[in-house]
Structure 1
Amino acid sequence: MRFAIIDLGTNTFHLLIAESTDKNFKVLFKTNMPVKLGEGKINDNQIIPAAFERGINALKDFRKIITEYNVDKVRATATSAVRSAENGKKFVLAAREEANIAIEIISGDEEATLIYEGVKLSGAIKDCSLIMDIGGGSVEFILCDSEKLIWKKSYNIGAARLMQQYFKSDPISDEEKNLILAKVQNELLDLFEVCEKHQPKVLIGSAGAFETFAELIIKKYNYPVNVSEAKTYDFNFDEYISITLKLINSTHAERAAMPGMISLRVDMCVVAALLANYTMGRLKINQLTLSTYDLKMGVLASLL
Structure 2
Amino acid sequence: MNKRVAVMDLGTNTFHLLIAEGTITNYHELIHEHIAVKLGEGGINKGFIQPEAFQRGLDTMQLFQRDIEAHNVTEVRAIATSMLRNAANGTQFINEVAKLTGISIEIIDGDAEANFIYQGVKAGDCLSAGNVLIIDIGGGSVEFILGNDEYIIWKQSFEIGAARLMDKFHKSDPIPQASIDELNNYLEDKLKDMLTAVAGYEIGQLIGSSGSFETLAEVVEQAKGRHFDLKTTKNYLFENDDLIAATDKLINSSHAERKANKAIIPIRVDMIVVASLITRFVMRKLAIGNVLMSTNSLKEGVLTGMLD
TM-score (norm 2): 0.97
Distance 2:91 2:278 in 1: 30
Alignment match, 1:291: 294
Q: Deviations over 1:74-98 (max 9, x none)?
A: 0000000000001000010011011
Distance 1:21 1:281 in 2: 40
Distance 1:181 1:84 in 2: 24
How far off is 1:223 after superposition? Answer: 2.9
Identity of aligned residues (%): 46
Match for residue 205 of structure 2 among 202, 213, 221 = 202
What is the letter of the counterpart of residue 135 of structure 2?
Answer: M
Deviates more, 1:193-202 or 1:133-142: 193-202
Is 1:105 the counterpart of 2:85 in the alignment?
A: no
What is the letter of the counterpart of residue 270 of structure 2?
Answer: D
Q: Deviations over 1:217-268 (max 9, x none)?
A: 1111123442222111111111111011000001100111123111111110
Match of 1:197, SS state, is: coil
How far off is 1:23 after superposition? Answer: 4.9
Equivalent runs, 1:46-65 vs 2, <5 Å: 46-65=48-67
Match of 1:272, SS state, is: helix
Match of 1:66, SS state, is: helix
Equivalent runs, 1:240-259 vs 2, <5 Å: 240-259=243-262
**Unmatched runs of 5 consecutive residues or more in structure 2:** none
How far off is 1:22 after superposition? Answer: 7.7
Q: Deviations over 1:107-165 (max 9, x none)?
A: 00000000000000001112210000000000000001122111000000000001111
Distance 1:2 1:232 in 2: 25
Distance 1:67 1:84 in 2: 30
How far off is 1:41 after superposition? Answer: 1.2
Match of 1:175, SS state, is: helix
Distance 1:224 1:36 in 2: 28
Deviates more, 1:167-176 or 1:109-118: 167-176
Match of 1:7, SS state, is: strand
How far off is 1:99 after superposition? Answer: 2.1
Residues 133, 139 of structure 1: 8 Å contact kept:
yes
> Cα–Cα, structure 1 residues 22 and 91, in superposed 2: closer, same or farther, change >3 Å?
closer
Residues 141, 161 of structure 2: 8 Å contact kept:
yes
Alignment match, 1:87: 89
Return structure 1 stretches of 4+ with deviation > 6 angstroms: none
Is 1:181 the counterpart of 2:184 in the alignment?
A: yes
Distance 2:125 2:85 in 1: 30
Residues 222, 228 of structure 2: 8 Å contact kept:
no
Distance 2:131 2:25 in 1: 27
Deviates more, 1:44-53 or 1:221-230: 221-230
Alignment match, 2:76: 74
Residues 56, 99 of structure 1: 8 Å contact kept:
no
Match of 1:244, SS state, is: helix
Aligned length: 304
Match of 1:152, SS state, is: strand
Distance 2:23 2:253 in 1: 47
How far off is 1:203 after superposition? Answer: 0.4
> Cα–Cα, structure 1 residues 118 and 23, in superposed 2: closer, same or farther, change >3 Å?
closer
Equivalent runs, 1:215-254 vs 2, <5 Å: 215-254=218-257
Distance 1:34 1:259 in 2: 17
TM-score (norm 1): 0.98
Alignment match, 1:3: 5
How far off is 1:24 after superposition? Answer: 2.8
Distance 2:210 2:231 in 1: 10
Q: Deviations over 1:173-227 (max 9, x none)?
A: 1111111111111011121112212121200000000000011111111234422
**Unmatched runs of 5 consecutive residues or more in structure 1:** none
Deviates more, 1:129-138 or 1:167-176: 167-176
